[in-house]
């Protein structure tokens, strides 16, 4: 078996696994949900609030693209904001519509290696640490929103652990950056702020969805579960997080004895907004831009001397 055929089989297997998990998770939720009521909630959604949700979702993605570009700059790669934004949205499209394949992050690494001559390990470090930065912000805000939610009333004895998690999240992030990715220390604080802004704007997007669905009560609970479900989608076992988010909403809302249909509707609409927002990525054509890699220039100068 050749290396190429083995790689193709691996990608096909990954795609099949993602499809199975996505369909299975959605089936578990939808077979236990009042589909007529779910459709009624979604079909009667306020379009103005939905447009606001789309706006804030895309604000979060633009900020995310800027954060990633800071990591690229830290490894000596200078990209224009427009080129980086196109690359980011194309990566979003790949992640959502080409599951199991090269993936959005893999495509970014491929393009930047091909056009800018950096080592794959350096580009991978920037892309990976960008993700890590987002995860720390997500954990911090999840803990912060759970504290005033109904979870606190049901499990008051466990809230001390959430205070601890919230307190150590960023000191731990700083320590790990210093130990393992010291080249990113210069951008640590600004990217930490941007990471929080990304998650906050996504929460605002989710809040507008709740408003569109006329869900005026227990909004803190729904938003806390929304962030918890975002943590659940980190592992790429489903397509674009679909299924994993809905399962999290279903069991968490049942635990709190809240309306499951509203939570599932929030989750499905958010996925729809993600899909719609990813579509412009297919229009991006990534070519070599006039920008340059400081690392590649240095290597060329060293070779000439």
d(CA 296, CA 36) in angstroms, rounded, equals: 58
In this structure, which long-range contacts are made by residues 230-238, counting pairs with CB atoms below 8 Å and at least 24 apart in sequence? 230/138, 230/142, 230/202, 231/135, 231/138, 231/139, 231/142, 234/135, 236/18, 236/103, 237/17, 237/18, 237/21, 238/18, 238/21, 238/22, 238/25
For the segment 83-138, what is each residue's pLDDT rounded down to a tens digit? 999 999 999 988 887 655 457 888 889 889 888 888 899 999 999 999 999 999 99
What predicted TM-score, i.e. pTM, was given to this entire model? 0.88
Residue 114: which of 88, 77, 80 has the closest Cα? 77
Q: Where are the alpha helices (DSSP H) in 75-217?
A: 81-97, 103-116, 120-146, 150-154, 159-180, 188-212
Asked if residue 133 lies in contact with residue 173, where contact means CB atoms within 8 angstroms, the answer is yes
Per-residue pLDDT tens over the stretch 62-80: 999 999 999 999 999 999 9
Question: Which tokens hold the place of 94?
Answer: 């790949």
């Amino acid at each position: 078996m050749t290396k190429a055929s083995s790689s193709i089989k691996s990608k096909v297997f990954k795609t099949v696994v993602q499809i199975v998990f996505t369909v299975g998770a959605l089936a578990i939720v939808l077979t236990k949900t009042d589909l007529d009521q779910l459709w009624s909630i979604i079909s009667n959604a306020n379009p103005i609030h939905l447009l606001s949700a789309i706006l804030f979702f895309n604000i979060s993605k633009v900020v995310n693209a800027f954060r990633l570009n800071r990591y690229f700059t830290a490894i000596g790669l200078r990209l224009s904001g427009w080129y980086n934004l196109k690359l980011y949205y194309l990566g979003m499209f790949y992640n959502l519509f080409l599951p199991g394949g090269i993936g959005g992050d893999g495509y970014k690494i491929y393009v930047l290696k091909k056009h800018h001559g950096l080592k794959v390990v350096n580009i991978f470090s920037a892309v990976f640490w960008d993700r890590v930065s987002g995860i720390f912000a997500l954990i911090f805000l999840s803990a912060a929103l759970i504290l005033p939610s109904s979870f606190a009333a049901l499990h008051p004895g466990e809230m001390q652990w959430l205070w601890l998690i919230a307190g150590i999240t960023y000191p731990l992030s700083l320590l790990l950056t210093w130990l393992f990715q010291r080249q990113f220390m210069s951008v640590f604080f600004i990217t930490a702020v941007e990471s929080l802004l990304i998650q906050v704007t996504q929460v605002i997007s989710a809040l507008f969805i709740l408003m569109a669905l006329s869900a005026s009560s227990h909004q803190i609970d729904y938003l806390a579960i929304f962030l918890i479900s975002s943590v659940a989608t980190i592992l790429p076992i489903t397509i674009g997080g679909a299924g994993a988010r809905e399962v999290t909403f279903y069991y968490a809302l049942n635990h709190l004895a809240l309306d499951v249909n509203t939570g599932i509707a929030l989750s499905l609409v958010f996925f729809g907004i993600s899909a719609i927002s990813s579509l412009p990525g297919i229009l991006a054509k990534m070519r070599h831009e006039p920008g340059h890699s400081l690392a590649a220039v240095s290597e060329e100068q060293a070779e000439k001397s």
